[in-house]
Structure 1
């Protein structure tokens, strides 16, 4: 009991604790309301439209702001294998899983090994919120353009370094905005394009941005193909990869209409952007390789155990170097590998690609029509004395598929339709489709 006239020394401390409890309870009430509303929308089994996603993302952002001081991301695995990630997720209750998606969507969406439906849900939240942030960022940049020129001696002028940096950042942010809009258009118009449901397996706006998009659920697919692009690929140009992935899905599905197929556009690495200055360096491929192996391993960890699984890596140009580096550095968990327009893959034999004998396939446009391998081999080919071996060479040991397309980027061409009829797949892409659905005996070789 305090002495008469003397304040209780513990009273202030007790009041502080009481105030904290009141704050927590108030936050909890706010969290519960927003959280319940958002979860009701999230649990509608994929019927959300773009407006719904915006509402959910806004609610979840408010929930995270209120809950951030009470909940942490410490329990989410970091640096674990996809198998360990999958096991961790399976141990959580439904309520715990919902909380992680709601409070930490970026971390959950990035975890290889988690179900495609979960990653899609988490990454759609991130995408929708980041779209707003990117649009605001671009408006701010455009409104704060610095002075472009400065006077030098003798009346000469030069472009200021500050303006150059401003322009570079403006182009980067504008490019990300373009990529996000392409993704949103894909999600809105998937059905009208005659494609299966889309799944956003990865997304971020770091650097030039990254995204991984699947046509169809790879967890339930009997055949999955992963398209790995080459030089110049970035979020801004993901529409190119989506188009090729779409054609792979249409071609493969037409060849095996009774099979379930998923095709994936893997824009998950920092690709070289300039041919002469950047693509001659192997560092881009070497840095990306562990991420490639992690992703392919994740496809196996999240796949339904009662469905047979066959996975094909389809790589183009510098993307073939990325896939080759992945096999060289670790274990590429693919059943087949298809190379197109390869400048070299860092290994000298198909037997080093981690797939069964006879399951490395190569496409090279007709003689003189794709010269990437002619100069690329001296950088990315496997050196043997004075020689440099790439997948185009007989000694490499790949199955050389016949092609009927032109140029370095024509391997996914369709013929142009006439009289309102759809175009037909070229032999180049049809051969890829036959590998994807394991119709090896129908592949036309050179």
Structure 2
């Protein structure tokens, strides 16, 4: 199967087959009506009547058996026609993109770049072309794989229809037989390729027709909801669909654990049941916070959701749609952050930054551009304290280690790539904001591939970055900024330089340091400063973002020339 086969797929023939099958169904309907008329003739009794009715019943069984096969083949024909039309439309779009960039897609899915005969002298221009070529390659191969899957499904259904092995259990009339057959004639939605990149996942999703996308969301929400490269809107739909089931499961676990503790003379002293109950209660609080955040922010998207993998839940909520936004920011928090206690305030802060970015775009005459702001708690930041004495001890050790940051950074880097891959914009402006221990996590994300798609980064309240300079993150000096508020006790660690627990701090003159002090910004608004660790993205006493929040907003729209230094 190759792209040429997709071109040669005859939708007209599928239309004709569907019309023929519909005609056949009409004939069967006439036969059923005639049989029903024979069986209901009033006053006809005796041996002839019994024989006729017996023959009618046998014929009706044959009709229903035929209808099961016809229903399956017609459903297959309908879905194949839609799927093939989608593939051909997608292929046409890929070829238009290839032609516009002087590239050629081969039937096998390869991409030839005419410009490579005379390579661009500008490395960035070459990188752009290579990304276009790679995306075309991934998309072409996703179309081929989808075509292979359609062909395999069709062959299986047709073989079963031909050898009579389709099951008609429970079908008692023509309508139920057709419905039973249709259920056995559906195309199955394929799974994404194993170990796929975000770009390959995006290509896989684009190759699916709407019906199969809906099937994947409905049947495999745990996979789709957290798969980087799937559009944020689809991820959110999948994630939200799991909340009710998770709440029921957690409430049942809590009831069972309470019963065990009540029956134990020593409570949970000699077991882990009390700690387990605490973790379950924390996750129930997490669910409440997620639902309040979504309710208070209509249109917000739940782009990360996991209530099974860790002691606390994982979540990320986007204000605005990252799929279509021109500018996307992702804020990663640090020490002591969890969904139950922190998500709602983080979403409010994201909403405030969102509004400021829109205001600044309007002042710049760019009100047609759109923004999205993500509050990302997609990892488990260190916590001092917890549901047991051991949590407190281990938490104290966690905050002095970079292991959590490295693990979280890998997830965050993948999330960045997913935003870029799923965006309908060819090159969205993505900004990474890291606060406190989250600055270290963000730095690790950039060092592990996130810098390939992130355009700007801001670190504030940072204890250190494990990077002496921006180049170690793969970022240019002019695209990275740091902020340090007067009175922020955490940044004292970041100023220890080589003595910092995280090897290198951002406050070493190797990063652009911008203001957190009170002042009047270029838009004429007097803004408060910051004098603690948590106030950077919050509103000041006058209801406006502080200088630090303003700086985040203008960097988020790609206007660093407007920052307060």
TM-score, length of structure 1 as denominator length? 0.74
Q: Are residues 220 and 338 of structure 1, via their aligned partners in 2, closer, same or farther at CA, if it must alter by over 3 Å?
A: same
Larger mean CA deviation between 217-226 and 172-181 belongs to 172-181
Deviations 1:318-368 (A, max 9, x none): 1111111122233422111010100111110023233333111111011xx
Q: Which has the higher contact order (CA 8 A, sep 6+)?
A: 1
Matched length: 367
Structure 1 match to 2:399: 279
Structure 2 match to 1:317: 436
SS in 2 for 1:183: helix
Identify which of 325, 346, 369 aligns with 1:241. 346
Corresponding position: 1:371 with 2:489: yes
Gapped regions of structure 1 (runs ≥ 5): 1-17, 37-66, 151-157, 192-196, 418-422
Counterparts of 1:24 and 1:112, CA distance in 2: 42
Structure with greater helix share of residues: 2
Q: Are residues 200 and 318 of structure 1, via their aligned partners in 2, closer, same or farther at CA, if it must alter by over 3 Å?
A: same
Counterparts of 2:440 and 2:268, CA distance in 1: 37
Identify which of 392, 406, 415 aligns with 2:507. 392
Structure 2 match to 1:430: 550
Structure 1 match to 2:223: 107
Identify which of 317, 328, 331 aligns with 1:227. 331
Moved runs in structure 1, 4+ residues, more than 4 A? Answer: 22-26, 70-74, 146-150, 381-384
* CA contact 2:332–2:375 (8 Å) conserved in 1: yes
Structure 2 match to 1:288: 408
Deviation for aligned residue 1:313: 0.5
Counterparts of 1:129 and 1:345, CA distance in 2: 39
Deviation for aligned residue 1:148: 6.5
SS in 2 for 1:424: coil
Deviation for aligned residue 1:383: 6.6
Report 1:402-413 matches (<5 A).
Answer: 402-403=516-517, 404-413=529-538
* CA contact 2:495–2:507 (8 Å) conserved in 1: no
Q: Are residues 189 and 25 of structure 1, via their aligned partners in 2, closer, same or farther at CA, if it must alter by over 3 Å?
A: farther
Q: Are residues 160 and 253 of structure 1, via their aligned partners in 2, closer, same or farther at CA, if it must alter by over 3 Å?
A: same
Q: What is the aligned-residue RMSD (CA, Å)?
A: 3.3
Identify which of 270, 273, 292 aligns with 1:185. 292
SS in 2 for 1:251: helix
Counterparts of 1:160 and 1:23, CA distance in 2: 56
Structure 2 match to 1:266: 376
Structure 1 match to 2:107: none
Identify which of 168, 187, 195 aligns with 1:79. 195
TM-score, length of structure 2 as denominator length? 0.59
Counterparts of 2:380 and 2:188, CA distance in 1: 29
Q: Are residues 161 and 439 of structure 1, via their aligned partners in 2, closer, same or farther at CA, if it must alter by over 3 Å?
A: same
